[in-house]
A and B are shown apart, each in its own frame.
Chain A
């Protein structure tokens, strides 16, 4: 049983195109909301032992302090998360005092304060790492497929892999832009880490497909379209199963893993699903379309 997957490639391109375009629109319209890791600032999380006062009351208690524009956000039954500009230890102590730590009303659970200089440095470093990761993936593909020159050249495999990578990163980013707008979800170090992992993971799936195409091309006797279709049929089970097992553990982290890992796992889930789609429906189909376009000229 060989299903002719590439026959319907226009549909795949349209779906991917619409999603990618929507993500780009979301990114431009809403932008991403960088966390304090990148902008500098501070977060304080505390639990009230008895009843939590209203946001208004808490705001009033903190109004005399130099905190910049700060936000008060309730969490759980009795918890509160304060987000402020980067503050020094004295101000930190005053915040706790005003919230009533001396009377034993609250317990501090977490405090982070990151200076603006540290944040800016991290931003620079992150851009560098993303660039390095993308570059190394493309170089890897070109090297791995250097022996394959017919009918598609190795650099074309590299370009196609790069396109699928953009697709796999773009869609999670678009979702995060929307989440940032609706729920104030921020792009933090864990989210960036997750997206970079998606790079490696998605290339992994694409390589498995390309690997089969290479193997089948060498056998000869078929048109390139048939070769791609056969390769997709052969790798389908593996692609599905590997993505599924990875998704199982990621969903477990998302639902049970606690707040820190929540958006980390969400970014990975989105990336793995887009990677599953692009490696199966986009990468092979793009190769076929490219070849047809060239032949027509």
Chain B
């Protein structure tokens, strides 16, 4: 192998290491950049920093499984009914302002299920209540001007910030509020019935609402207070229309006009009257983790990872000396590479995933161990240093390949199993094993080859 090519590969490895290290932990890079910018007046940008995606068990949140009762729905319409259900639940879930809520339909062995994942939700009980309720009809009145301005200000303040940063802002909860309208007492519970009708002039569909006696009084008071102002009508938190009130309305009748189709208007009327979701659902499984517990779990598993890593490095250096040190460097690059991949793919990190990752640190050195043992054998047989390295890598490859193949096979079977704990573990283990093979075969080899033909070759005791 030509020396030039050796250095070329080494150079590529170092560049890869630089990028993956800064991608997984940009603080040092950014700190240096800030320092330079402030001292010398440069305008260097910060390193690209996509966030890690943390699972529910690490950032806190709730995982719900609902069983849908489709017995009243015909066979052919079931997929459609489940999609409708998902859309409605999704709309309700979005009200919580959680990041990337997950709402999925799932069909297993004749059961139709709906999986809802809410990350970082503070009050799962409230969420469960809201998901299971009837369509939520609500009238909201206009906010005073100064309130609107305050909320809009907050909204601008939180632009482009992460959830943690947002939560450190004073009164950040304000930003979750609707800037223009505020809730009133008038909701769907005062509803007597609703009807589909058509506008006389435009022939557009509209929805007639009839309130009960109590509701009529509330509505009267509300309209009186809002003359000349807008009154907004929301269903499941979505604004349908916001007519301006001309006069006080008695008798408890209201109408909703909006840009909906006849079909949508029909569905809405049906849901409002039936007071239910398109199909009945029942909560069959719930897993909630508070944010403090999640944080503690994350810190503990990271501590465990660091101690484990240190033990492995100390052992490798003591036992294999210089190759051990090189393998430890390769292991460091391996970790940076994996973390960068977790961010890029992105892999949702759960506690199980971190467990799998830490385990893979222990296993990652396996390939190195196999290679170094072979190299020592070759050296003992009296081969030259360069030959021993190449032979060691070549002859240990079948063992590395076969051995890791079985672990990957089991991980694939685990992955197809489906439970989220297992999936997270299996995925990180597979990624970990693949990258570890790469790290041993490419990175360690590149580092080792640098020493071939140098004076270090003669110091046999370090090998």
Q: Which residues of A contact B (CB under 8 A)?
A: 45, 88-89, 92-93, 107-115, 117-118, 121-122, 125-126, 129, 132-133, 136-137, 140, 144, 189-190, 193, 196-197, 199-201, 203-205, 207-208, 211, 234, 237-238, 241-242, 244-253, 255-258, 260-261, 264-265, 268
19 contacts between A and B (CB under 8 A): A109-B289, A110-B290, A111-B287, A114-B284, A114-B286, A140-B405, A144-B402, A193-B421, A200-B410, A205-B403, A238-B369, A245-B312, A253-B301, A255-B307, A256-B303, A256-B307, A258-B297, A258-B300, A260-B351
B108 near A249 with CB under 8 A, answer: no
B403 near A109 with CB under 8 A, answer: no
Can you list, as one digit per residue, whether each of B401-430 has a CB less than 8 Å from chain A (1) or not (0)? Answer: 011111111110110011101100100010
**Is B362 at the interface (CB under 8 A from chain A)?**
yes
Known contacts A113-B285, A260-B57, A264-B355, then 13 further A-B pairs from the complex at CB < 8 Å, ordered by chain A residue: A93-B125, A110-B290, A117-B67, A144-B402, A190-B421, A193-B422, A204-B404, A241-B365, A242-B369, A245-B362, A248-B315, A249-B311, A253-B359
Nearest to B402 among chain A residues (CB) is A207
Q: Across the interface, which residues of B come within 8 angstroms of A265, CB to CB?
A: 355
Nearest to B422 among chain A residues (CB) is A193
Question: Which residue in A203, A211, A248, A261 is a CB contact (below 8 Å) of B301?
Answer: A261
Q: Of A200, A207, A256, which is in contact with the most chain B CB atoms at under 10 Å from its CB?
A: A200
Q: Which residues of B in the span 97-145 have a Cβ within 8 Å of any Cβ on A?
A: 108-109, 111, 124-125, 128-129
Minimum CB–CB distance for A210 against chain B, Å: 9
If A93-B125, A234-B377 touch, whether A244 touches B414 (CB-CB below 8 Å) is no
| Docked CA distance A216–B369 (Å) | 20
Minimum CB–CB distance for B271 against chain A, Å: 22
Q: Which residues of B in the span 344-361 have a Cβ within 8 Å of any Cβ on A?
A: 351-352, 355, 358-359, 361
Q: Across the interface, which residues of B come within 8 angstroms of A257, CB to CB?
A: 300-301, 303-304, 355, 358
B429 near A249 with CB under 8 A, answer: no
Nearest to B300 among chain A residues (CB) is A258
**Is B319 at the interface (CB under 8 A from chain A)?**
yes
Minimum CB–CB distance for A36 against chain B, Å: 10
| Docked CA distance A268–B429 (Å) | 14
Q: Across the interface, which residues of A come within 8 angstroms of B169, CB to CB?
A: none
Q: Across the interface, which residues of B come within 8 angstroms of A93, CB to CB?
A: 125
Minimum CB–CB distance for B366 against chain A, Å: 4
Which 3 A-B residue pairs are closest in the complex by CB-CB distance?
A249-B308, A200-B410, A252-B308
B296 near A200 with CB under 8 A, answer: no
**Is B184 at the interface (CB under 8 A from chain A)?**
no
Q: Which residues of B contact A (CB under 8 A)?
A: 57, 65, 67, 108-109, 111, 124-125, 128-129, 283-290, 292-293, 296-297, 300-301, 303-305, 307-309, 311-312, 315-316, 319, 351-352, 355, 358-359, 361-363, 365-366, 369-370, 373, 377, 398-399, 402-411, 413-414, 417-419, 421-422, 425, 429
Question: Which residue in A109, A114, A244 is a CB contact (below 8 Å) of B285?
Answer: A114
B366 near A245 with CB under 8 A, answer: yes
B413 near A136 with CB under 8 A, answer: yes
If A238-B373, A257-B304 touch, whether A245 touches B351 (CB-CB below 8 Å) is no
Chain A binding surface, main DSSP class? helix
If A108-B290, A208-B403, A248-B362 touch, whether A197 touches B410 (CB-CB below 8 Å) is yes
| Docked CA distance A257–B308 (Å) | 10
| Docked CA distance A92–B64 (Å) | 14
B359 near A246 with CB under 8 A, answer: yes
If A118-B284, A121-B108, A257-B355 touch, whether A249 touches B403 (CB-CB below 8 Å) is no
B355 near A261 with CB under 8 A, answer: yes
B301 near A249 with CB under 8 A, answer: no
If A110-B290, A189-B422, A193-B421 touch, whether A253 touches B358 (CB-CB below 8 Å) is yes
A249 near B362 with CB under 8 A, answer: yes
Minimum CB–CB distance for B296 against chain A, Å: 7
Minimum CB–CB distance for A175 against chain B, Å: 19
If A133-B410, A197-B359 touch, whether A204 touches B403 (CB-CB below 8 Å) is yes
If A132-B413, A252-B304 touch, whether A204 touches B284 (CB-CB below 8 Å) is no
Q: Across the interface, which residues of A come within 8 angstroms of B308, CB to CB?
A: 248-253
| Docked CA distance A126–B418 (Å) | 10
| Docked CA distance A175–B285 (Å) | 30
Q: Across the interface, which residues of B come within 8 angstroms of A197, CB to CB?
A: 359, 407, 410-411, 414, 425, 429
